[in-house]
Amino acid sequence: MQQITLLLTSLPDGILLGFVYGVAAMGLTLIWGVMNVINLAHGPIIALGMFGTFFLFIRLGINPYLGLVPIAIAGLLLGVVIYFTAVHRVINAPHLSSLLATFSVNMIIIGLATAALTTSPYNVDFSLGGFKLGSATILGTRLVAALIAILVTGALYLFLYRTRPGKFIRAVTNNRAAAELMGVPSTRILALSFGLGTMLAAVSGALIATFFPFNILSGGGYELKSFVIGVLGGLGNPIGALIGGLILGVLEGIIPTFMETSWVPVIEFGLFVVILLVRPKGLFGAKK
């Protein structure tokens, strides 16, 4: 009985967080799916999104949800810059090159940000109150974050399936060479995809900052979660990433009811490796 109460308290939180994880993972899997590059700078960009909320809200007093717009735009531009400086030259090189190229971006961001911001924790003091749902308390910030995550997923889906650049992105994902032959400007599309990927990362960070304290290294954990979600949900599929995020969130809600919370990462990463071995293309929406 006590366990059920515990479950009911932790599960809703896990689910709400899961949606936000989903957005972070979407950014990673979009890039991965489109250009077969695993963006190891994903974590620091999530962290930059967190600091975006901090500065816009604490220093400029802009509402954190309104602040998502400039953060998204900055994230998009940053991604395009990263693409052209670090990724474009190694896009057809062996995996080691693109992994190390994006990791070097990771090092550059973390190095500069550590010098400027130190690694002490920051906190965005923002609250929307909360309400009781049975024995669980739902925080307003988490509920809104989850709703925004769903909106973002829907928007990305519409963009990919209803707009011309979105269709180009899917064409490049399927077969870059063929898409080029059909006249798709592949370099611009790749840069746009990378920008969208980093935009999603920055937005997820901006949302997370409304309810968790953070520092420049905090993105790392979400980057690893994004890997797990990526193999759960498959590549380049926004809905898959959202479902993968939910699964992870639910797991994080359930596991603490029967073992110590500190076991959560053991289970997560164990699961990750097992899924990689069994279904390397993801549990759902496996394409390619």
Partner 1 sequence: MKSWQKHLGLVLPLLVVAGVVLWPIITDNVSARESAFTILKAIALASSLNILLGYTGYVSFGHIVFYGFGGYVGLYFVNDHGWSIWAGMLAGGIASGILAFLLGKAILRLRGAYFALATIGINEAMKAFANNFDLFGGPIGMVLNFSVYKAYGGAAEALKMTFYIMAGLTFAALLISHFVRSSKFGLGLLAIRENEDAAEVMGVIAPNAKTWAYVLSAIIPGMVGVLFFFKNGHVEPPVAFPLHSSIELLVMVMLGGQGTVLGPILGAFAYQGMRGYLVTSDFFKDIQLSVSGVVLLLIVLFIPAGAIGWLRHRIPVLRRVLA
In what helix (H) or strand (E) does residue 83 lie, and over which residues does it extend?
none
**Residue among 6, 8, 15, 100 that touches partner 1 (CB under 8 A):** 100
Q: Compose the 180-219 pattern: x for residues touching partner 1 by CB under 8 A, - for all others.
A: ----------------------------------------
Closest to partner 1 by CB, 60 or 96: 96
Taking residues 219 to 258 in sequence order and writing x for each that binds partner 1 by CB under 8 A, - otherwise, the string is -----x--xx--x---------------------------
Site string for partner 1, 77-96 (x = CB under 8 A): --------xx--xx--x-xx
State phi, psi for 130 to the nearest 5 degrees: -165, 175
- How many angstroms separate the CA atoms of 32 and 39, rounded? 7
Query: What are the residues whose beta carbons fall under 8 Å from the beta carbon of 51, sequence distance 6 or more?
Result: 113, 117, 122, 209, 214, 216
Q: Provide the token pair at 13.
A: 């939180």
How many chain residues touch partner 1 (CB under 8 A)?
43
Distance separating alpha carbons of residues 173 and 34, to the nearest angstrom? 4
Interface residue with partner 1, options 265, 283, 284, 287 (CB under 8 A): 265
Q: Does 276 bind partner 1 (CB under 8 A)?
A: yes
Q: Binder to partner 1 among 63, 104, 163, 175 (CB under 8 A)?
A: 104
36 vs 174 by CB, closer to partner 1? 36
**Per CB under 8 A, 110 contacts partner 1:** yes
CA dist 194 and 238 (Å) reads 15
User: Please, which of residues 129-168 interact with partner 1 by CB under 8 A?
Assistant: none
Q: Maximum Cα–Cα distance for the chain, whole Å? A: 63
| One residue of 103, 126, 159, 212 binding partner 1 per CB under 8 A | 103
Question: For partner 1, which is the closer residue by CB, 126 or 257?
Answer: 257
Q: Select from 13, 22, 272, 282 the one that contacts partner 1 (CB under 8 A).
A: 272
Helices 186-208 and 164-174 pack at an angle, to 10 degrees, of: 100
Q: Which is nearer to partner 1, 150 or 267 (CB)?
A: 267
Q: How far is the CB of 1 from partner 1 (least distance, A)?
A: 26
DSSP one-letter string for 185-215: -HHHHHHHHHHHHHHHHHHHHHHHTTTS-B-
Please enumerate, as own/partner, the contacts of 84-93 that have beta carbons within 8 Å and a separation of 24 or more. 84/191, 87/35, 87/37, 87/190, 87/194, 88/187, 88/190, 88/191, 91/35, 91/37, 91/190
With binding defined as CB under 8 A, does residue 117 bind partner 1? no
Q: Does 263 bind partner 1 (CB under 8 A)?
A: yes
Nearer to partner 1 by Cβ, of 152 and 172: the residue is 172
What residues have CB less than 8 Å from 282, skipping those under 6 apart? 230, 231, 232, 233, 234, 235, 237, 240, 244, 275
Among 99, 128, 136, 143, binds partner 1 (CB under 8 A): 99
Residues in the site for partner 1, rule: CB under 8 A? Answer: 36, 38, 85-86, 89-90, 93, 95-97, 99-101, 103-112, 114-115, 224, 227-228, 231, 260, 262-266, 268-270, 272-273, 276-277, 280
